[in-house]
Amino acid sequence: MAGFKLYEIDQFLQDALDARLKQAEDNEGVYDDDFDRFIEDIAVERSHKLLDCARYVKALEAQGEAVKAEKEALAKRQATYEGHAKRVTAYIANHVQPGEKIEDANTRLGWRKSSSVEILVGAKIPECYTRIEIIPDKTALKKAIVAGEQIPGVSIVEKQSLQIK
């Protein structure tokens, strides 16, 4: 997280965690070592190390939010570009006659035949030609179990959730 410092933490710990972050970025989130042991081997007093790690997590989460905001802004920009490209493409399609070819050294315009399946409203599609994905509704399952319903293979598991504030 070079250049982004929201919280002050031990520089050695910061550098070590940043090196592992870089490793994760370079390897699609995969670490090549035992991460717990890696942190345990850093010579910093336990409570200080844990609090610094918590501050590091808060900084990472803040950076993640900044990336998320930028991603949303870029998605809007992408949609604008794609929408504009469709409008310009429609203009071209309205002004190039079927069978006409227009080209230069970099670009070629023309028509080609293609086919696609058209499904009319009310068509009865045989089941063997459909795709259905079943996704459990965990919220509804939890409500049913809390209300006393017995659902084989489904239970509510109590967990502890670490809070970093």
Report yes or no on 129 lying in a domain.
Answer: no
- The 8-class DSSP code of residue 128 comes to G
Query: In terms of pTM, does the model score above 0.85?
Result: no
Angle ∠(23,25,27) on CA atoms, nearest 5: 65
The number of residues in the chain equals: 165
Supply the pLDDT for residue 165: 66
Percent of the chain with pLDDT strictly greater than 90: 56
Supply the pLDDT for residue 127: 86
How far is it, in rounded angstroms, from Cα 17 to Cα 139?
36
Report yes or no on 106 lying in a domain.
Answer: yes
Report yes or no on 122 lying in a domain.
Answer: no
Report yes or no on 68 lying in a domain.
Answer: yes
Provide the domain count of the chain: 1
Report yes or no on 23 lying in a domain.
Answer: yes
Report yes or no on 39 lying in a domain.
Answer: yes
